[in-house]
Structure 1
Amino acid sequence: MRWRAAKWFLIYLASGCLLVAGLDDVWVELRAPRFVVHGHSAVLRCDHNVQPDTLYKVVFFKSGQRIMQYVQGRDPPFEVYNFTGADINLIMLKPTAITLEKMDFSAAGPYACEIALDIPLYSKASKIHELSVIVRQKHRPRIKIKHKKLSSYEDLEASCQSAAAYPAPHLTWLINNVKVDEKLTVPHGTVSSHKYHHGMPLSFTNSSLHFPLSSLQLFPNQTVDITCLSTIPSYPTLGEGYADVQNNTVTVNVVRMEPTPTQLPVRIINLDNSSCSLAINYILMGVLILSLTCVTFGVRS
């Protein structure tokens, strides 16, 4: 009996060692949106590559505190903890997914998940995932153009102001749908709008543009489209795009100025036939008199 028990113990250790050797390939990732509109819901998934029958426990964290725990074989298997800022949908609970509803600003912060195995004892946590709760813009950005009709050698001067939002939107300028070099823009920062959304102060962003039209290949009387793009965040996230985007476009008429001529203008006088004949006769008479004079002086000499 002792030998049989020892034999099974050695088999157990051997299987455990084999599992431990393969645990280096285990990965865990929390998949969730980066931005959620205030009052909306979000689904958090704890993805992993562990076989379901070897999975013992899954835990979701927010700011290092447990918000939900699943333990295989326990009755009930789910345990929900006190969580402020959102409601956990109990009907949609899954071993590796939770749904947060009616998200408030206090629900924003760092989230993570962790999985655990029973044999062998092993646990691994995901990387931290930052989640933000935002307030969308309610209207397009406003563009002001100093002059809506310019020559092709002038500088285009414009200003843009976003709508109030949280966080303050990021402004990007485009000329004819091409992003303008940031060296030609002047950011003026964010300003409080004195508006609130459920207690959260909203802000807007200002920016100005100084663009040389001479850098464009323009045709006579061509129009130029100036676009102000207002987004949250400043760059689209992979697979999600912008969390909020608004844009506005204004058209400016550009008059192409022709270069100043380098030669002085020449005035051409049209002479009628009689005037031309009279002038020719005077020229011939002058030539004849000059010839006779030369002959006379030649004989005397």
Structure 2
Amino acid sequence: MGGGAARLLLALILHGAASLRMTRVEVPSPVPLGGRAQLSCFFRLEPGERIYTVNWYRNGQEFYRFSPGESPPVKTFSQPGVFVDAVASNMTTVAVASNMTTVVLRPVTLRSSGRFRCEIATEAPTYVTVHGHGDLSVVAVPTEGPQISGDREMYRIGEPVHVNCTSAKSRPAASLKWYINNVQADPDLVRKYPATRDGDGLDTSRTGLMFRLRPDQLQPGGVVTLRCAATIASLYWRSDERQLHGPPTERTARTRPLTNGVDQAKPGVLHTASELLPVFLLYLHQLSVT
């Protein structure tokens, strides 16, 4: 190749590199199961340049192609879990002239998750290709909140408490946290169990809480409030609460009103030394008289 041809090729490469630039790719995540996912590709095209193709891929496999010079300009390729809403997608010459393209997937399924890549190429003589990608995850939230289960509701001080919390049918498995009287439980008290998956590909998560009941855990009324919170990404937060009761004597002791430090649970009975002293002196006086 002569020096003139080499300089021309270099000039074309430099011009092409500046004629088309990918500015950003927007792929939503997470997306709720059954919802819609709008995939957008933004680019900058220099005046005089023209788009040859816009391609979209999921996990390296092409599922959408827009070629302005062909008829029809739009082609779709079947992929499991990828359903293109052709009406909502704006792959048109007008949209490309606005330096953006959009493909809408609806409805999304658990198989729709993956890495989505947008690739844009210009026509001759530059033949520049740019691309960008984003990851999409699909979330299936439970149809009901987590459930706390246990064998008893009343415990004596020092007795072991063992309760479980279950959050069913989601993807991914819900993250579970325990709270005792609105304070997150010590990790040493929490028992984690592996999630189980059903035939529909949905996960059930379960966790346990084990501790011995202490007097300082009893709130007014002699109860301990347990709460289990389930979360999935930013799409789901639900909780369940249960109150455990301490022994009746502990509940009574913590609910009796006090006046000046005197227990008012049994009116008419003397409880303090200052009240017993006059009675004792009167008793001695009666003995001396007799």
Q: TM-score, with normalisation over the residues of structure 2?
A: 0.65
Give the aligned partner of residue 121 of structure 1: 127
C-alpha distance in structure 1 between counterparts of 2:159 and 2:243, whole Å? 16
Q: Is 1:50 the counterpart of 2:50 in the alignment? A: no
Provide the rounded CA distance (Å) in 2 between the counterparts of 1:27 and 1:126.
9
Letter in 1 for 2:44: V
State the secondary structure of the residue aligned to 1:50: strand
**Cα distance, 1:274–1:135 mapped onto 2, change above 3 Å:** closer
Which of 100, 115, 137 is matched with 2:105 structurally?
Answer: 100
2:141 is equivalent to residue 175 of structure 1: no
Structure with higher Rg: it is: 1
Q: Tell whether 2:165 aligns with 1:160.
A: yes
CA contact (8 A) 1:28 1:114 kept: no
Q: CA deviation at 1:215?
A: 10
Identical-pair percentage? 21
Instruction: Give the one of 255, 259, 280 matched to 1:270.
Output: 280
SS of equivalent to 1:250: strand
Query: Who is 2:17 aligned against?
Result: 20
Equivalent residue of 1:106, what SS?
Answer: helix
CA RMSD of aligned residues (A): 4.1
Paired residues in the alignment total 249
Change beyond 3 A, Cα 1:273–1:150: closer
CA distance in 1, matches of 2:203, 2:107: 23
Q: Structure 2 residue aligned with 1:64, among 60, 66, 79?
A: 60
Q: Distance in 1 between matches of 2:216 and 2:14?
A: 69
Select which of 77, 81, 95 maps to 1:81.
77
The superposition leaves residues 189-229 of structure 1 with CA deviations (integer Å, 9 ceiling, x where unpaired) of 22356xx4xxx244422211135665978654364432212
User: In the aligned structure 2, how far is the partner of 1:224 from the partner of 1:122?
Assistant: 67
Aligned to 1:141: 146
5 Å matches for 1:198-237? 200-211=200-211, 220-221=220-221, 223-232=223-232, 236=233
Q: Deviations over 1:117-167 (max 9, x none)?
A: 4474332322351433x4432222221245534577766532111223344
Distance in 2 between the 1:208 and 1:216 partners?
22
Distance 2:190 2:284 in 1: 69
Structure 1 residues 76-100: Cα deviation after superposition (integer angstroms, max 9, x where no partner): 4322222332431111222321122
SS in 2 for 1:229: strand
Structure 1 length-normalised TM: 0.63
Separation in structure 2 between the aligned mates of residue 222 and residue 58 of structure 1, nearest angstrom: 67
Cross-structure match for 1:41: 36
User: Take 1:164 and 1:104, find their aligned partners in 2: how far apart are those partners?
Assistant: 15
Q: Which runs of 5+ in 1 are unaligned?
A: 1-5, 259-264, 280-301
> Is the Cα contact below 8 Å between 1:115 and 1:125 reproduced in 2?
yes
Segment of structure 1 superposing worse, 149-158 or 174-183:
149-158
